[in-house]
Every structure is written in C-alpha cells, then in structure tokens.
Structure 1
C-alpha cells in the first residue's frame, strides 16, 4: 500500500536556481513505514507514478494492488519518488541516503549501489546493494557496458505554455528562446522560459531536441521540478518542456496533480511544427473527454522518446554469476520470455498514465531500442587487462587455467568469462566464474578445432581477452614392455596403443632415451608394433620413453619403461698340440665368440690355478706361446677375462704331453 502525504513543510527546501519553489502537493513512497521490497528503483519523476502503480501501490487515490508486477518468485517493486523527504532508506537495516531526484541522480545512485560508493559526496554512508534499477527518461551519459537501458514505454516531450501567443511553436523559435542571450518576446508576448532541474532526463532530451547543450543554453533561466506546471507556469508568457505522458496522466486525474492551477489559468501544451512538416502537430487530443496521446507526435524522432528502466547489465546476463532471475523476470523480454512489465495488465496501466506501448517494451536488443552505458558516478570506465592463459587438451576436453593480470584497474575484477567457439565461430559453450576460480574444464567435446577465450571482467564490462586456438581430440593410452637383453642382441620394445571412444589409433611411435631417438615404428591396424633397438646399447639399465604422436582424432600419449642390457655370454674355444718336446714352446690358439659382438680383451692360460701365459684378443682370436713344459702330462685351460660388454669365461681343459 502507498501512503500519500502533504509536503507543505518541504516546499521551502525545494527552492532551486531561479528562485522558484518546487510546488508539489504530495509525494509517495512504499508504505507503511518499514515496508521493504526486493527490487528497489529510484530516479526520474516522469515514470515514477506509473512505476508506483505497477508496484501495486495507491496512486492519486486509486489502488493498483490487483495488478502489481512481480517476478516468478514473487519479488515486487519498491519505487521511490524523485521528491519527498530529504533521504530514503530502501533496505531493512540499510543506510539512509540522499533521495535521487531525476534520471541522472537515479542512474548515479544505481552506479554507487554497484560500486559501494556514496549516493552523493555529502552522504555519510555508502549504499552498496541498496538500489536495483533506475527510472530514466533519457539514455546514457557515459559510454560503457555496465548498465543496460531497457525500453519501458514511449513518451514524448512537449512544451507547456501559458498565454495565447504561444499556441504554436517551431524548433527554431525554441532554440532562439532557450539559447544563451535568447529572445524574450514572441507574437507580442513577453516570454518567461523555465527549465527542469539539473539532472532531469526531460531537460537533457529537450535541449538536445532543439539543438542546445548545457554549454549553450541560457544559464540564467530559472529551474523548477520537471513536470510541475503549477510551479513552472505562474504567469502569461511562461513556457517549459514537459513530459506529454505526465501531462495526460495529471490532467486525466490518474497521477498526482501538479498542474491544475496552471491549467485553470490557461496553461496548455503548445502545438509544435515537427521537423519536415509544414503544419503544427498537437501532442494530445481529446477522446471521450479525456486527453490521449497523438501517436504521430510520440513516434516523431525529434520529440518522441523511449523511457527506460536501467539495470546492471550483468544481472540480466543469463550466463553470468551475477544473473538475477527476479530482475530478468520483471524487466526483460527475450525470445519466449516476456517481461512482467510488458504483460497485458502492465501495458493497460502504462497506457492509462499517458504512455504508448511498443512492441519492443522490455527488449534488450541494441537493434531494438535498448541501450548500454557506463557507470555514472564519476569512476573510471577502465576494464581489466588480459589474463595469462594456459591450456591443456584432454580426452574430449579442454582445461583452461589463467593468472590475473598484475595491473589491476580502479574497479576490481568481479568475474571471469570463458567462451569456447568452434572452427566456424559458433559459440559452443560459455561459463562465468567468480574471482576465486582460476581454472575450468570444458568436457564432452567433439573432436575438432576450437578457440577459447578468457576475459577478466569488472563493473565496467569485459576486459581484453586471452585467446587459445587449437584442436581437441580423444585420449590415447600407450603401454610398452621389454625384456632384459644381453649386449649384442637387439632389444625389442612391444608397444600397444589404445584410443578412447573406440577410436582406432594409427601413426608412429618413437622410443627415446633422453633426447636420443633409439627407434621408431608404425602401428598396425590393431594398434600394436614391436620396435627393435640397437644391439650395441651399453650395458646398463636404460630409462626409455615410448611416445605415440597421435593422429587427427587422438591425442599423443607416452609411457616410461626400463630396459636392462646385460653383458654378453661368450664361448671360449682352444686349439693346442697334444704333445710337444720339452725343449719346444707350444702355441695355443684361443678364439672367443659372442652373439652380435666380437669380444676383445685378455686371455690367460692356466695350469691349475697358476697363470702360465697371457695374450690379447685381436678380432676375437689370439695365439699364445706357452713356456717350455717339463716332461709329462700338463692339464691346461684358457680363461677369457671379459670386457665392458662381455662376461668372462673359462674354456674347456686341454692336455699337452711334454716329451
């Protein structure tokens, strides 16, 4: 329920530049006192009354409780007027802050609610989380993407005048009247132009429509609260820009009356010659005794305007961690989702307050009247720098890991946005993550080429993207076995590669020791191959890496194995005479052989345990001359002492008879 109270005590505080009082018979906030609703809105007084009605409150004596707009979960609107008490409190236990009066202050308050700053510099407390949307009769004042301006209805700006000489006006005449040092008589009528208060969306729109700015307008003109004819049109020759919707709603008794005294004295909306027309067009007409909009005037590009509800862009992004379903339900029409404010009941209320309903009400499509803008509380609009990105392609998956950019902007990073697109640029997946998370995996992907981006975001919008482009495949598994192998014999490595998702592997495998390639092989149709290595690997335990290079559908994989190469086992053969005179030195031929190698080294001839002669192998063979043997039978044997690659070994005994 909304309570209406007298503001006589507030009039003295409502004096603005020019000395006029902002005469206002009543104001309204959500009541009873202590009532708080979830979706808090502040700002423009052009749309405050219709938003009050859509909140389900009582406006000008009529209750709109039966048509109150709510989200699917039941969250309702709390709409705080542009004028009233000096401060407002919008949350239970929350701070009191200066009441935002007009579109600009409303957007500033919304911005400060996001950043955790004060509504105005003179306030004592910050207002983080105290405002959810701003009513605005104009578009953005700063560039950026932090705020989305959702069209709510169509309004128009006319010129409210008092005096018979001001029935018809042109854009050129309005330019001359309001410019610095402007004219002060027209058609014999002394002129008394006034403007809405600073920060008013209607003021900004009107000046732009007639070709002026705050730098070229007559700064000596008095200002009054916008859309209040009683305060603005106090004498003949007075004129002021006015929301046509507000004029209709007040004069039809729908909205609180700020204009009847002036109307009784002859105030009315002037007909304007619209650019490109030869005649003048009235903004309103009368149907069954009630004022109603003239569609052609509202649709005119110069004086017709969209009015907006401004929300934080991230709250209506369905992929954002800050997505707010209640705000989305109430304000956004997208696809099959209809904004509660665009329902038939809501549009009936909107029309009742003098606005036109359009097909794009609730649209967030920038091609269909929606707009975006930056924060409006004076903070920098800088976005975060590019993160440092690391990627790991897995089994039909891609893991992204990132390190934040060390150069942090004034506004901190609030979240990270990940986007994955295919080779044609189509978006495959997006993910928004809080700042506490710095890695994420996309899983269940088809094989193919992809591009992944990671951006750090803050309230100002999206930062510079870190980008990876590459291929996602299925995993492969490599297994390998080998056996202990003697030196001189080629070691064999049996390799089996399998692919996930039943994908048959193909291609080559490589066996390396460190950076040295020892062998390669091509997989069979069953994913197997046996790789033969050199038969001259040194005697040692070798740490081998067996690698599969992958193919168009499979990732590379590898396995580590140990290969033990032992010394070769030789054969020792001797050839010696069976008898020799004791005066002659016998010669013994010793031949040492081993598979795959020619042994080298020392051969000794023993009689028992005594070495009686030695020789050195040449090409695996040596002839050793024995010392003179005493008469008798001598049992001898040759012993090969071995080498770094061949084991030592005794030859068979042989007998020489010395005579």
Structure 2
C-alpha cells in the first residue's frame, strides 16, 4: 500500500502501532464450534456481520437451541454451513452473499461460478438460507415483486472517513464529496485529496457509487484516474488502471494517509467503538478497525450540516442513510423459522434486547444501527417489513 503525504514521524509511528494492534485482534466471529450447524445460515455483508453474530448468539428456539448461524465476510478459511457438503469460499460483501443465496436456490450464475447451484466453483445447493445485504440489489424504482424478499431490520448511514490527523475538513457538502469521487476536483478547501474505493461486491460500495453518480463500467474504462491505485499501477496508463480496492469499514487503511478519504458505515464505526459493551452483553467480539479514521459531517444544498453519529448514537437524519437487510427467498416467507427470526415487528431481530449497564438496549442499536418502527416507503421501511422484493 502506498503511504502518501506522511509529514510527521509521530503519525507514522502511531499508524504502525495501530496497524499492529488491528492485526493482533480477532478477525472473525463464526459459529463456535464451526460444526454447530443451525437452522438458518447466512452469509454476505461485512457491514451487518457483527450484529448478525449478536443475533446468532442470542436468538434461540423453544428448545433453547441457537437458530442463526452467520458466517463472516472476512477470513481466508473456507466455511462449511451444513452438516453434509456445503464447503465454499466466504462471500465477501452483500452482492456476493446474494449470489450465494441465489446459487443455493439452484440458479445458474454463469461465468466462473459454474453451473446451476454453483458459487465460485463450489456446489452450494441448499447451503444458504439468507443473505446479509446492506444495499437493495433490485430495479429502480424498487418493486414489490420478485423471487427474493429484502427484510429490513436496521437503518445505517454511510459517511466519509478521513484521517483525524490530516487537514481534510470535518464538515463538507455532499456536492464537494461527489465532485471529488467524479474526479472533477482534487482538493477540498485547498487540501489535496485522494478518494479510495472498497470492494466492488460490497453493498456499501454499490450504495456509495450510486450516490456519487459513478459506475463500475466507467471505473473499468479509466474514466476516474484520480482514484487511489495499487503501488504497482502506472499513472501514465489511465486507460488500463489498477485501482486499489480496500476492505470496507477498515479505517486502518487511512493510517498515515493524511489526504485520503473512504466511505465508512456509521453503524460499523459505532459498533467498533462499543467493543467492550458488546462483548459483555452478547459474547461477540467486534474488531476495532477504526485506526486513525474520523467521520465527517455532511450537508445537502440548503440544509444544515448533519453529523453521522451524535452522542454515540447513529443519526437517522444523516443525508446518506439506507436500510440494511436480511434477504430470503420469497417462497420461504411462510417458513416458521424465518418468520420467527426476521418477519414483522415482533420478530426476534426486531425485539431482542440485552442488559447494558442496568438498562435494556435493542441489539440493533447496541451494534450501531438505528431502528425504524414506522415505514415511510419501500426503501425506508419498518423493521421486519416484507414488501420490498427483487430477482437478485
């Protein structure tokens, strides 16, 4: 990774220390033991993997058996989700998680995946029950018809992360951010800036790219030569760029990089700061990857600056907010386990609380997300709603 604009020895030393600490921490919270095969198996989003691990620890059936097995997006070890067969690579991100779910339903994804029921060369038929997704993968406008149902459980905000030791302003306008990601501007308030990307299969990136008004096709054509590159990239060949993709919600990529910015889930940022409380209340280990990252405030034209996090709580009025989902086959909406876990305001994910410092707190909110009890529209729905659908 190329370190740019490192102007102070102290910053470099702190960056190294923070990076080492992040590497030393635990990286996963899969079902333990890994042979604990549960009723509902989920894969996908990095954004919501921690909160779903929380529900995996807490949601039980009438026999007091854990119901939800949620496998992390990150990690080099393959996962095995069911007792027979079902060994495959981890789907890293919302898009990959939804693909794995579709393959599990017997769809043919084509390409290098393999034939019907295959994901990344492995037969995953009947291996995945739900996909964690931080974005809606359906058409515009959203629809109420489709083979897959997006069941919202929380509200997230996607903010811009900057290095807290740098000179990028703490509050910026949406127009400024968009102009930087479209490479119209290479500075904010006179400070040079390099925008970074996260993995393409990430729901966070899909959401962010949509808001920025850029597409993967344009990126691959080299239309945005200002985006951060790998160290072996050749700046003289923008038509064949080797752009760097970093893991989402990992602020350590900004350590020592004083002029770089990257999108970051506010829900993840809060959860990574709540590690002790989460561990004590749920037994789930959340890795603090914030590093030197700080979130910026943002404003839309004619509106006041909104902070993504206020008093340690997600601000649901932040301009770039989104619902986060558990995606299930529409045909399985009558399945008792799925209904009990995900469907409706009385479902386990919508109602489960834990004691934190003598106060009962929603698990959704403990892990950094907001909870919506009254729906506004399909993309701003109430927890447990089943109206939003798509075929992907």
Q: Does TM, normalized by the shorter one, top 0.5?
A: yes
Matched, 1:242 2:243: no
Matched, 1:186 2:188: yes
How far the C-alpha of 1:192 sits from its partner, in A, is 2.1
Instruction: After superposition, give the CA deviation of every residue in 1:363-409 in whole Å (9 maximum; x if it has no partner).
Output: 11x3xxxx10103xxxxxxxxxxxxxxxxxxxxxxxxxxxxxxxxxx
Residue 503 (structure 1) aligns with = none
Q: After TM superposition, which residue ranges in structure 1, 4 or more long, deviate above 3 angstroms?
A: 70-75, 116-125, 141-144
Do the aligned partners of 2:153 and 2:349 also contact (CA within 8 Å) in 1? yes
Please state whether the residue corresponding to 1:240 is helix, strand or coil. strand
Distance 1:314 1:71 in 2: 22
Cα distance in 2 for residues equivalent to 1:249 and 1:95: 30
Determine the structure 1 residue equivalent to 2:339: 328
> What displacement does 1:260 show?
4.2
Deviation of residue 333 (structure 1)?
0.8
Partner of 2:157: 156
Q: Distance in 2 between matches of 1:124 and 1:204?
A: 24
Q: 1:96: Cα distance to partner? A: 1.2
Does 2:127 align with 1:136? no
1:136 Cα offset (Å) = 0.4
Secondary structure at the aligned position of 1:183 is classed as coil
Distance 1:275 1:40 in 2: 43
Comparing both structures, which one devotes a greater share of its residues to strand?
1
- Number of residue pairs matched by the alignment: 316
Q: Post-superposition shift, 1:294?
A: 2.3
Specify the SS of the correspondent of 1:241: strand
In structure 2, the CA distance between the partners of 1:175 and 1:91, relative to structure 1 (3 Å rule), is same
Shift, 1:183, TM fit? 2.5
Alignment of 1:372 with 2:373, yes or no, is no
- Residue 308 of structure 2 corresponds to which residue in structure 1? 283
Residue 208 of structure 1 aligns to a residue whose secondary structure is: helix
1:226/1:34 Cα in 2 relative to 1: closer, same or farther (>3 Å)?
Answer: same
Distance (Å, rounded) in 1 between the aligned partners of 2:337 and 2:39: 9
Residues 246 and 362 from structure 1, CA distance in 2 versus in 1: closer, same or farther, beyond 3 angstroms? same
* Contact residue 105 and residue 125 of structure 2 kept, 8 A: yes
Measured in 1, the distance between the counterparts of 2:108 and 2:61 equals 28
CA RMSD of aligned residues (A): 2.6
Larger-Rg structure: 1
Residue in structure 1 matched with residue 174 of structure 2 by the alignment:
171
Unaligned runs of 5+ in 2: 1-21, 229-243, 279-284, 355-360, 374-381
Rounded Cα–Cα distance in structure 1 between residues aligned with 2:45 and 2:273 = 19
Q: 2:253 is matched with which residue?
A: 231
1:477 — aligned with what?
none
Q: Separation in 2 of the partners of 1:339 and 1:212?
A: 37
Distance 1:140 1:71 in 2: 31
CA distance in 2, matches of 1:234, 1:312: 44
Do the aligned partners of 1:175 and 1:212 also contact (CA within 8 Å) in 2? no
Residue of structure 1 in register with 2:323 after alignment? 306
Per-residue CA distance 1:529-581 (angstroms, 9 max, x = gap): xxxxxxxxxxxxxxxxxxxxxxxxxxxxxxxxxxxxxxxxxxxxxxxxxxxxx
User: Matches of 2:152 and 2:162 in 1, distance apart?
Assistant: 29
DSSP 3-state at the match of 2:291: helix
Cα distance, 1:281 vs structure 2: 1.4
The CA deviation at 1:223 is 1.6
1:41 corresponds in structure 2 to: 42
Task: State the partner residue of 1:272.
Answer: 298
Give the secondary-structure state (helix, strand or coil) at the position aligned to 1:281: coil
Q: Is 1:339 the equivalent of 2:347?
A: yes
Cα deviation for residue 199 of structure 1 reads 0.8
Which deviates more from structure 2 when the two are superposed, residues 343-352 or residues 354-363? 343-352
SS in 1 for 2:30: strand
Higher helix residue share: 2
- Out of 201, 204, 208, which is 2:203 matched to? 201
Structure 2 CA distance, aligned partners of 1:140 and 1:125?
23
Q: Deviations over 1:203-228 (max 9, x none)?
A: 11112223333344537532211011
* Distance change in 2, residues 1:50/1:29 (3 Å): same
Residue 412 (structure 1) aligns with = none
Q: Is the 8 Å Cα contact of residues 44 and 92 (structure 2) preserved in structure 1?
A: yes
> Which residue does 1:113 correspond to in 2?
104
Distance 2:120 2:149 in 1: 26
Indicate conservation of the 8 Å contact 1:333/1:339, yes or no. yes
Calculate the TM-score normalised by the size of structure 1: 0.45
Alignment of 1:490-529 (within 5 A): none
Counterpart CA distance in 2 for 1:164 and 1:123 is: 42
Deviation at 1:166, TM superposition (A): 2.6
Alpha-carbon shift at residue 232 of structure 1 (Å): 4.2
Indicate how the Cα distance of structure 1 residues 37 and 350 shifts in structure 2: closer, same or farther if over 3 A, else same: same
Q: TM-score, normalised by structure 2?
A: 0.74
SS state at 2:47 partner: coil
Distance 1:252 1:55 in 2: 18
Higher RCO structure, 1 or 2 (CA under 8 Å, sep 6+): 2
Q: Residues 162 and 168 of structure 2 are in contact (CA less than 8 Å); yes or no, is this contact kept in structure 1?
A: no
Q: Distance in 1 between matches of 2:154 and 2:209?
A: 21
**Structure 1 CA distance for aligned equivalents of residues 169 and 215 of structure 2:** 23
Q: Report what 2:71 is aligned to.
A: 80
For 1:512-551, list aligned pairs within 5 A: none
Residue deviations 1:595-651 (CA, integer Å, cap 9, x gap): xxxxxxxxxxxxxxxxxxxxxxxxxxxxxxxxxxxxxxxxxxxxxxxxxxxxxxxxx
